[in-house]
Structure 1
Amino acid sequence: MKSSNPVLSRLGQAAERERSSGYGSYGPAGAGYGQPGYGQPYPTATDYPAAPPAVRPMTIDDVVVKTVTLLGITGISAIAAWNLIPVEMTGVAWIGAAMGGLVLGLIISFMRIANPALVIAYAIVEGVFVGMVSKAYQDIFGYQGIVLQAVVATFGVFFLMAALYRARVIRATPKFTRGLIAVMGGLFMVMLINFVLSMFGVSTGLRDNGPLGYIFSLVCIVVAALSFILDFNQIEEGVRMGLPQRYSWTAAFGILVGLIWLYLEILRLLSFLQSGGDD
């Protein structure tokens, strides 16, 4: 089964080689080796049992279990960070976790093999980051109830996209995939440039409570939501191609990244709405 995704195609070919690399042992159990007629029976078809697969292919259930596991780890890490890290250390922990998560995320994204330990470490670090951001918005900036609202909205959007994908209302066609990846790359470049400019005191208005900030946040939310379509499609293709079970960690990592991005964008937009309502 060929895929339009070259990375998945290479992984699928590697998985096929792994599954076909083993052969059954010669002769029936305990028969040993030797020429026929010298205490050894002539081999038959049953004397060459098919070797079991070297690895078990991943399933949708594998991805679901890994995703729930990573979400649980992220949630526990966020709650622990919220309650254990002092308020005066919020900024330091926020920046440190953000940088650590970025480094781990890049390593995982560009690795050719799935590494569960790195993915779990990413979930822990991102949990600290999410916990600090959430604590800042609710306890420091004073947006009461905003965290629960953002969590509910995030999972609501996720399950809506899952339903739309399952009903094939939105399809991950090659044109859709190329366009969305280009838009995501452009957005991240804009956010990076905006961050660098903000360090020098230059405000572009993209992250401010104003019309431009509202529009940019909405665009980010829509793009983050649509990114799940790419995740669902890659999971389906990976299952069809028989990728090894360990790649379910990589698939779950992709969903976790999308959920965190969507949550942060919704959190920001809700803070704009609360600020507007208070004025």
Structure 2
Amino acid sequence: MEFKSNNPFLSNKRFSNTAVQEKVHHAEIIDYGQEMSLSGTINKTALLFMILVASAMVTWWMSFNGMNVMLPAIGGAVVGLILVVIAAFKPQYSGYLAPGYALFEGLFIGGISAIFEAMYPGIVMQAVGCTLVTFMVCLGLYKFKIVKVTERFKSVVIAATLAIATYYLISWLFSMFTSFVPVHYGNSMMSIGISVFVIIIAALNLFLDFDQIEKGVQQRMPKFMEWFGAMGLMITLVWLYIEFLRLLSKLASKD
């Protein structure tokens, strides 16, 4: 059974094609121990989270010891993005790419978190708490079928996510080469409203991640797709955390 794309990273093409290839390759001998499982995906997500936190502590420590963290933070973000792109085209290498992503993205998260914490003491714990609460609420709503991921739901969330990405890219390019100041900068009500909207869309992407992973398990995809699914979930959580940091900093700057 084929299903449409959810998370832009957890694409329909990657999951469905991988499933078909695996079925053809194991037409005679099926080793169920080598299939994607929910417990395996959960374990790998937890491992990626621990790697990311450990890596983040490095740049966090560097920042609060007077070292410049901009280079490792920016470098981590760039390398992390490259690994995500490679994994999107080569999911069979996710067992190596996913831990690498967590490692390098952690450098970025630690650096940016330290910068925000220096400006607004206590903001990091608030952002972490908001992210974890949002994750648990979304997981509960999905688990108990209170929120159902329909095709229309998927289409709306994907369209909104792509629109946000396009807006961010265009705004960044204009601000780089002109004196244009994007409306989501600053702490105006419009800027705060945009941040709230982006957080809602990021949270809705969690439902798509849960649905994609569940369907991957049902389709008995190969074992390496556990890493691929876990990586996609981590990408959404990182995005959600950063957006909470931005929103909380806007609110704090108004005081």
Q: TM-score, normalised by structure 1?
A: 0.83
Partner residue of 1:9 out of 16, 27, 32: 16
| Cα drift, residue 112 of structure 1 | 4.5
Structure 2 distance, partners of 1:111, 1:170, is 31
Deviations 1:184-241 (A, max 9, x none): 1110010011111222332022122111210111111001100011111111111111
- 1:32 alignment partner in structure 2: none
CA contact (8 A) 1:20 1:53 kept: no
Q: CA RMSD in A?
A: 1.7
CA contact (8 A) 2:55 2:106 kept: yes
Structure 2 distance, partners of 1:160, 1:206, is 27
Deviations 1:57-87 (A, max 9, x none): 1111001100000000000000012113564
Structure 2 distance, partners of 1:156, 1:112, is 30
| Secondary structure of 2:148's aligned partner | coil
**1:19 and 2:18 aligned:** no
Count of residue correspondences: 245
Structure 1 distance, partners of 2:142, 2:150, is 12
Q: From the CA coordinates, give the structure whose radius of gyration is larger.
A: 1
Q: What pairs with 1:1-279 in structure 2 (closer than 5 Å)? A: 2-5=1-4, 6-7=12-13, 8-22=15-29, 53=31, 56-84=34-62, 87=66, 89-139=68-118, 141=119, 143-200=120-177, 201-277=179-255
| Cα drift, residue 271 of structure 1 | 0.8
| Cα drift, residue 264 of structure 1 | 0.3
| Cα drift, residue 168 of structure 1 | 1.4
| Secondary structure of 1:242's aligned partner | coil
Structure 2 distance, partners of 1:59, 1:112, is 16
Structure 2 distance, partners of 1:94, 1:62, is 30
Q: Which amino acid aligns with 2:3?
A: S
Q: Which amino acid aligns with 2:92?
A: I
Cα distance, 1:20–1:124 mapped onto 2, change above 3 Å: same
Q: TM-score, normalised by structure 2?
A: 0.90
CA contact (8 A) 2:76 2:108 kept: yes
- 1:35 alignment partner in structure 2: none
CA contact (8 A) 1:90 1:136 kept: no
Q: Which amino acid aligns with 1:175?
A: R
Structure 2 distance, partners of 1:151, 1:276, is 21
Which structure shows the bigger proportion of residues in helix conformation?
Answer: 2
Structure 2 distance, partners of 1:94, 1:202, is 26
Larger deviation, residues 259-268 vs 176-185: 176-185
- 2:8 alignment partner in structure 1: none
Cα distance, 1:95–1:155 mapped onto 2, change above 3 Å: same
Structure 2 distance, partners of 1:110, 1:213, is 35
| Cα drift, residue 54 of structure 1 | 7.6
Q: Which amino acid aligns with 1:16?
A: K
Q: Which amino acid aligns with 2:126?
A: Q
Structure 2 distance, partners of 1:94, 1:196, is 20
Cα distance, 1:95–1:87 mapped onto 2, change above 3 Å: farther
Structure 2 residues not aligned, in runs of 5+: 5-11
Structure 1 residues not aligned, in runs of 5+: 23-51
- 1:34 alignment partner in structure 2: none
Q: Which amino acid aligns with 1:179?
A: V
| Secondary structure of 2:182's aligned partner | coil
